Amino acid sequence: MKAMTHPLTHLVNLSAPLNLEQYSELGGYQGAKTALVEHSPNEVLEIVKASNLKGRGGAGFPTGMKWSFVPNFEANDPRVQDNKYLVCNADEMEPGTFKDRLLLEGVPHQLIEAMIIAAYTIGANKAYIFLRGEYHLAAKRIQKAIDQAYQANWLGTDIQHTGFHLELYLHTSAGRYICGEETALINALEGKRANPRAKPPFPQVAGLFGKPTIVNNVETLCNLPHILKNGVNWFKEVSPNSDAGTKIYGACGRVKNPGLWELPMGATIGQVLNDHAGGMSDGLKLKGLLPGGASTDFLMPEHLDVPMDYDSIAKAGSRLGTGGLIVLDDQNCPVAMVLNLLQFFAQESCGWCTPCRDGTPWAVEILTRIENGQGSIEDIDALLNLCDFMWIGKTHCALAPGAVEPLKSALKYFNDDFMQHIEQGCCPYHRGH
Amino acid sequence: MSDNIENNNQNMVTVYIDDQAYQVSSDNNLLAGVLSQKLNLPYFCWHPSMGSVGACRQCAVTQYQDENDTRGRMVMACTTPVTDGMRIRLTDEQSTVFREQVISAMMTNHPHDCPVCAEGGECHLQDMTVMTGHSTRDYKGEKRTFTNQHLGELVGHEMNRCITCYRCVRFYKDYAGGDDFGVYGSRNNVYFGRQQDGQLESEFSGNLVEVCPTGVFTNKLFSAHYTRKWDLQSAPSICSHCAVGCNTSVGERYGSVRRVMNRYNHDINGYFLCDRGRFGIGFVNGEQRIRVAKGINQQSPERLSSLDVAKALVHHKGKRFIGIGSARASFEANYYLKNLVGDNHFSLGLSADEMNIAALHKNFLAKNAAPSLQEIEQSDFVLIIDEDITHTAPRMALAVRQALRNASIDKADLLGIPSWQDSAVRTIGGTSLTPLYLIQSHASKLDDVAEQVILQKTKTTVAFVNELTEMLNTHEDVICFEHQHSSLLNQLLQAKKPLVIGGWGSRSDELVSAISEFVECLKQSKYLENSSLKCLLAPPQANSVGLLSLMDEQSLSVEQVLLSVEAGGESAKRELGIEGIILLEQELQQFNPQQLMTLKQSSLTIIALEHSENKITELADIVLPVAAVTEGDGHFVNYQGRIQPFYQVHPSVLPIQESWRWLGLLAKAIYPNHALAKEAKSLNELYQLFLQEDGHWPIRVNEAERATARETHRNSGRTAKMANNSVHEVKTTQSQDHYRYSMEGDNPKSSDNMPFTWAPGWNSNQAIHQYQQHVGGELISQSADDITQQSLDFTDVQVLKPCWVSQSNNGSEKINPTAERNFFLQKPWHKEEWQAALVPEFILVEQVNAVAVSKQMAKDNHWQAGQWLNTSLLDGYDNQVLSTAAQVFIDERISDDLIYGEFDCSANHQVQDISLSIATDEQVIDYQNRLEQQKQAAKTQQQQILVRLKQQDQYIPIRLVAGGLDDA
């Protein structure tokens, strides 16, 4: 029954992931078989569209719709391309997020099966897994799984005598947060600087090596075998709300039991934090939290009843993002936390556009002074100005706006803390230490 | 101003900018549209030639959906297409605040070292900072610092000034195809430079100086003897280093030339120059300059007078002279000389073989209008036959490189992406390139982007081209023809805008003839009916086409001139009635020492008009110091036949004056009865003379042109300038053209002829868009009768039959050694032109002799790549053997019958034979020592020049009349 309630994680085995044979015995590759044997690519596309699967990488864009943007030109159209690509974005570098790692290390064949389905649907014969450089164990396990899949004719030419070909390559990143941005990822994969590209053209039209390309997150892809196997209705019914399916939620920070849990999409923040993460560590109170990784707005204790689906979190003023909670307690300095996050974003800026390249370090400079007790009241305005300066529409990609989210919301919710730093000339949290 | 703005072929739509309606072209982006309306909108990363990438975010404006939309949405103008009815604001609060924020963020790490920055006063960053209103510094943190690199002798590097607009790397790598410069690092620690210190390898590196919006890349030659832009005295000029005829703006102060900047010309150089043109101007200030007349007795030790000249020549009165013109002298001077000495006594300074090429070239021009560089950039197929334009016409090679992008642009167009979306076009285009075929006898700098490089000796190429012609002639359906090279022909015949380039580089008249026939045959082809075939021959020098337009069947080859000398001076005088030879800026490179000796020992009077010392001035009886290109008025005719004026940038120090002025004096003394024996005070007067003599004189000057200032409006205190000499206000020097030696004057009627580029608020060269009809388009001309664009008309010239048989080989049967030989040697590209080779900075540019051999040859001789060989070169003219060491490299593309290389030595086109052997250690050390000595000498020379010029700054030569000898 776990297969129906915990489709993504029920086969996870972190100490020894299932090999191809074991995975197949437990129902693995059935989704791929269903897709390749029973459906045309267009039918699979319609199934995925109907399932309302949304991207789990953070943006929540409907996967089927994304796929449908791959142009389908007639053979004699001058725009027709000789190749298309599928890329799995496994460059999981969002601070506080480690959900893809679980899937990559725990059940690698699930991803390979998913990629076969996706590649078949969009008509790609070449696919890449772009893996975070630091995920050494995942790299080893995925490569092993790929080798097994080739041997078992789940990859290579004429897969399972269906006539479908797929070459799958594992590419390990040199390690930049910006590679999580799909066009920067494509540049990196081409051996170029990992700068996000100008859009249009979107990757669906001209992506990797100028060919139509789909980039999907690990968790997004891993839903596919189950949608194919169990059907659209099952997928929609797993979740109590309109955002279908399950979601791997996580929690980190000073909670009793940090970790990951696959829950129906739309579990509340309180459920994740209290029922699964065991609540705050002894003696600590919840001060605030980032609901979906570092690049989301803070939410406060009064938001514990908010369901963690795309719309509800947005209504509360933040973003679901990756669904990995970063929890701040009352003994840690929110200014120091935001400073830490901004340092990360400043460090990871690709250096292409001015607001991000020069704005994030400027914010770090100001936050450092405030944290060290050398801030002034004007610095708060300066930070608010920088938040405007780096906001959506003004930058080349979403990195700087992502950095603004925790900063701006911290200025809103933790204004007292900022003012205390300035007025007392030191960090109130570190006074006693 | 907008009277005759032509919006030719532009799709104009209505755009509301701050509630006012404008007609804006929808072919370009919104930023270009705004700037085309002469409105101010700051920008950095966008460049009119390189398109948009949206990196700097400086050009943000607010776009509104309709009249009722009050919030609007901020967009980057450079990445926003222009659409009909769109509404934007430049003055709204949100975009105004944001633009100021962008500058203030960029400036967080800028060193604010404007007082010591060579860009100061013409800095785009300064201009944009003022434009956005950013005036106080809020950033309180530390600045990051970089270590700078030594990028060679030409371009300086100061990375701390960088604002990270990415223009440099986009120009150097993406636009010019350089691979030794890049972008490193990330976040606010992005570094633009080379992997390690070293000379920039691209022949377009100097454009970094203009492309960079601030002072990261600076002109080292300019910085060494630095002055602010507003203190420069400038005039429009034409580059004298090749036949492309790039428009330049030359700046001078205190009597010395300081720098060359690009002067926008839509058809030719656009926004970019090559390094030979930009950095090769040093010869004007050089140590080799001839500053006094030789062989003339002066009455007054201070000044040479017209009377002195007349006296010196009194014995030659009424006698015949042979006149040898040259392709680096002005069109006026050559024309003048020919008309003085007569058709049958005029030589172009070319050998018989070269005369044949020139004759073929003249015929070629009669049938084929050569395309401009702008037209070259539109090509969708390029075939270059045995002409290394990266050496002979580097700027043309850059245009060819742009043409190759058309494949990507077309691909993007299919997906609805306009060509100005540079990064998007590159994403879509990937590696696709317009086909370029290179048939040549050596590797070239375009090989990396060629579809196919066919390396073979010239003789094989002649046969190859003839074969192509044959195929076109005999086969009905060439497209299906199975042949080794059918892909070349197929792609050529399927192209809509094919381009064929040949030239003088092979020195083979057979090849030029073959190319002419091939082109004629192509024009007849049924496949090319709907396409526009363009073709051109690249001539070697700045005024080659002007010179060959003066050629007729009576013109003498240098061999014929030599014959008349060899016939014994006395008999020449007796039998031919020849008194002497007038050499007009002609160094007779073809002559060997023996022939020079013959010339010296003959009793003929040798009169040399020259600006710098050479072998001819050493032996001449009379040497008259002539003005370099920046010191006089005149015209050059470029490879297309385009007649382009260059103007005096600064008055020369007498007795240096223009060749045509000297010829006036010579004419009065030698040919007193000749109709042209008058001293013209200006070019206008000279043309009046010419027109009286010959109604066909092609150049007109606009007498109605208004006075234009050579100096900027902000030129430092005119009265104080010479206060160390006199506190009295000195009268300004009177000019003979319409450019004034003062800051008084208007812009010229035609923006083609601006002395420098400046507009209110725009102090850098980027001000040019204020003078363009639309960004990247033609310049605005306010005179209805625009005579700035004149061309020679070759269409009804008499067709010349090649008939100049070389007589240097004892009258034996005509052979063409250049086509036969199996090796091809080049000089380094920056020294290929005589004047450029005089520039000490170019001698300092690191250069190692290199020779390429086939794999088999290397194997047979046990040569390893990188090994030193001793190369013996046999000079065909004097049978002297010249030995030099060279590093061998292996070119797997060539067969055993070809050797090529780049040699920095005196022997060049005259080399008849080559032999290679492993060099001994002594030979290598000897070569390296020589190289080192050369460098040391160049360094010393460079310093000497600088010391002299800096002394000269203290004493400014004052001239009141900038025309003719001062006989007062």
CATH number at residue B56: 3.10.20.740
B819 versus B187: the higher-pLDDT residue is: B187
- Interface contact flag, A358 B73, Cβ < 8 Å: no
- Interface contact flag, B164 A357, Cβ < 8 Å: yes
Q: What is the pLDDT of residue B100?
A: 97
Q: Write down the CATH superfamily of domain A2-237.
A: NADH-ubiquinone oxidoreductase 51kDa subunit (3.40.50.11540)
Does the pLDDT at position B450 exceed 60?
A: yes
Interface probe for A, chosen from B29, B106, B187, B423 (most Cβ of A below 10 Å), is B187
Interface probe for B, chosen from A342, A347, A348, A353 (most Cβ of B below 10 Å), is A353
- Interface contact flag, B424 A359, Cβ < 8 Å: no
Q: What is the pLDDT of residue A207?
A: 94
pLDDT category of residue B574 using cuts at 50, 70 and 90: low
| Residue in chain A lying closest to B109 (CA) | A358
For residue B43, what are the domain limits? 12-106
Closest chain A C-alpha to B214 CA, distance in angstroms: 16
pLDDT category of residue B136 using cuts at 50, 70 and 90: very high
Interface probe for A, chosen from B186, B414, B426, B431 (most Cβ of A below 10 Å), is B186
Residue B902 lies in a domain: yes
The mean pLDDT value for B626-635 works out to 95
Q: What is the pLDDT of residue B876?
A: 66
Mean of all residue pLDDT scores within chain B: 90
Does the pLDDT at position B6 exceed 90?
A: no
The mean pLDDT value for B18-30 works out to 96
Span B291-322, pLDDT tens digits: 999 999 999 888 899 999 999 999 999 999 99
Span A293-303, pLDDT tens digits: 999 999 999 99
Please identify among residues 310-349 of chain A the ones whose CB lies closer than 8 Å to any CB of chain B. Answer: 346-349
Interface probe for A, chosen from B29, B188, B408, B433 (most Cβ of A below 10 Å), is B188
Please state the domain extents for chain A: 2-237, 239-329, 334-424
Does the pLDDT at position B3 exceed 90?
A: no
Q: Residue B387 is part of a domain; what is its CATH number?
A: 3.40.228.10
Residues of A in contact with B53 (CB under 8 A): 198
| Residue in chain A lying closest to B414 (CA) | A79
Span B196-240, pLDDT tens digits: 999 999 999 999 999 999 999 999 999 999 999 999 999 999 999
Span A113-130, pLDDT tens digits: 999 999 999 999 999 999
Residue B707 lies in a domain: no
What's the domain count of chain B? 3
Q: What is the pLDDT of residue B908?
A: 56
Residues of B in contact with A206 (CB under 8 A): 415, 424, 427-428
Span B745-800, pLDDT tens digits: 888 878 888 999 999 999 999 999 999 999 999 999 876 665 667 888 887 777 77
Please identify among residues 173-202 of chain A the ones whose CB lies closer than 8 Å to any CB of chain B. Answer: 176, 193, 197-201
Does the pLDDT at position B917 exceed 60?
A: yes
Closest chain B C-alpha to A315 CA, distance in angstroms: 22
Residue B158 lies in a domain: no
Closest chain A C-alpha to B410 CA, distance in angstroms: 10
A358 and B CB contact within 8 Å: yes
The mean pLDDT value for B577-594 works out to 87
Residue B556 lies in a domain: no
Paired strand residues for A325: A251
Q: What is the pLDDT of residue A388?
A: 97
A206 and B CB contact within 8 Å: yes
The mean pLDDT value for B631-655 works out to 94
Span B62-103, pLDDT tens digits: 999 999 999 999 999 999 999 999 999 999 999 999 999 999
A380 and B CB contact within 8 Å: no
| Residue in chain A lying closest to B108 (CA) | A358
- Interface contact flag, B56 A200, Cβ < 8 Å: no
Does the pLDDT at position B537 exceed 50?
A: yes
Residues of A in contact with B427 (CB under 8 A): 197-198, 201, 206, 210
Q: What is the pLDDT of residue A33?
A: 97
CATH code that applies to domain A239-329: 3.10.20.600
Does the pLDDT at position B568 exceed 60?
A: no
- Interface contact flag, A389 B55, Cβ < 8 Å: no
Q: Which of B38-47, B376-385, B521-530 has the lowest mean pLDDT?
A: B521-530
Instruction: Please write down the HEC assignment for all residues of chain A.
Output: CHHHHCCCCCCCCCCCCCCHHHHHHCCCCHHHHHHHHHCCHHHHHHHHHHHCCECCCCCCCEHHHHHHCCCCCCCCCCCCCCCCEEEEEECCCCCCCCHHHHHHHHCHHHHHHHHHHHHHHHCCCEEEEEECCCCHHHHHHHHHHHHHHHHCCCCECCHHHCCCCEEEEEEECCCCHHHHCHHHHHHHHCCCCCCCCCCCCCCCCCCHHHCCEEEEEHHHHHCHHHHHHHCHHHHHHHCCCCCCCEEEEEEEECECCCEEEEEECCCEHHHHHHHHCCCECCCCCEEEEEECECCCCCECHHHCCCECCHHHHHHCCCCCCCCEEEEEECCCCHHHHHHHHHHHHHHHCCCCCHHHHHHHHHHHHHHHHHHCCCCCHHHHHHHHHHHHHCCCCCCCCCHHHHHHHHHHHHHHHCHHHHHHHHHHCCCCCCCCC
Does the pLDDT at position B720 exceed 80?
A: no
Residue B788 lies in a domain: no
Q: What is the pLDDT of residue B478?
A: 63
Q: What is the pLDDT of residue B65?
A: 95
- Interface contact flag, B101 A206, Cβ < 8 Å: no
Residue B375 lies in a domain: yes
Interface probe for B, chosen from A187, A386, A394 (most Cβ of B below 10 Å), is A394
Q: What is the pLDDT of residue B569?
A: 53
Q: What is the pLDDT of residue B815?
A: 46
Chosen domain end from B493, B520, B545: B545
Closest chain B C-alpha to A331 CA, distance in angstroms: 29
The mean pLDDT value for B374-383 works out to 97
Residue B604 lies in a domain: no
A369 and B CB contact within 8 Å: yes
Does the pLDDT at position B477 exceed 70?
A: no
- Interface contact flag, A394 B53, Cβ < 8 Å: no
Q: What is the pLDDT of residue A422?
A: 97
Q: Which of B56, B98, B421 sits opposite A198 (nearest CB)?
A: B421
Q: What is the pLDDT of residue A76?
A: 84
Q: What is the pLDDT of residue B696?
A: 84
Could you report the predicted ipTM of this complex, rounded to two decimals?
Answer: 0.95
User: Which parts of chain A have pLDDT scores under 50?
Assistant: 432-433
Residue B59 lies in a domain: yes
Q: Which of B73, B141, B424 sits opposite A198 (nearest CB)?
A: B424
Q: What is the pLDDT of residue B719?
A: 60
Choosing among 2.60.40.420, 1.10.10.10, 1.20.1440.230, 3.40.50.720, the CATH entry for A334-424 is 1.20.1440.230
Does the pLDDT at position B697 exceed 50?
A: yes
Span B799-856, pLDDT tens digits: 777 666 554 444 444 445 555 678 888 888 888 889 999 999 998 987 889 999 999 9
- Interface contact flag, A382 B138, Cβ < 8 Å: yes
pTM of the entire structure?
A: 0.95
